[in-house]
Amino acid sequence: MLSQTIQKKLNEQVQKEFYSAYLYLSMKAYFVEKDLDGFANFFDIQVKEERDHALKIINYVEDAGGQLELYAIDAPLKDFTSPVDIFERTYEHEQFVTKSIYEIVNLAIEEKDHKTSAFLQWFVDEQVEEEATMLKNLNKLNLIGDNSSGLFMLDAELAK
């Protein structure tokens, strides 16, 4: 069984993961419009990963005998001004998600809910990778600046 508090937090995390998928879909649309197919591919992968994160938590809530509650998902950000703007926001967003995961882990430890704490360890590790990926791309874009050939090179790299 899950405590009511942990259950609510996990259900809220499902909402945050689906919002992440929604946000990255909105970012993908920006790159599709700009014909930057590599960046679009990168965000397409992120969308699927975020959806999988949400499903993973849903499965856990159900397996742990909790009750799933699906909350409304806000419209994602849009009207991005540049690739740098997008990656600044993704980096910020992933930091927000990490903080949210940590809060649930802290709560699970407080409640001696070892199964939830162990389950969330995967997300703790995943967030390290996600933050690093977003920051790496942000740093590259800052180095590229206004150099369009640099932008096309990164686009080609992200197509893989």
Q: Does 94 bind ligand FEO (CB under 6 A)?
A: yes
Q: Which is nearer to ligand FEO, 17 or 151 (CB)?
A: 17
Question: Residue 13, interface with ligand FEO (CB under 6 A)?
Answer: no
CA-based end-to-end distance of the chain: 42
For ligand FEO, the binding residue among 2, 7, 18, 20 (CB under 6 A) is 20
Q: Is 53 in the site for ligand FEO (CB under 6 A)?
A: yes
Which residue's CB is nearer to ligand FEO, number 52 or number 156? 52
3-state SS, 140-155, equals HHHHHCCCHHHHHHHH
Is 138 one of the binding residues for ligand FEO (CB under 6 A)? no
Select the residue interacting with ligand FEO from 97, 108, 138, 154 (CB under 6 A): 97
Q: Does residue 155 interact with ligand FEO by CB under 6 A? A: no
DSSP secondary structure, 73-106, as one string: -PPPP-----HHHHHHHHHHHHHHHHHHHHHHHH
Q: What are phi and psi of 2, to 5 degrees?
A: -110, 145
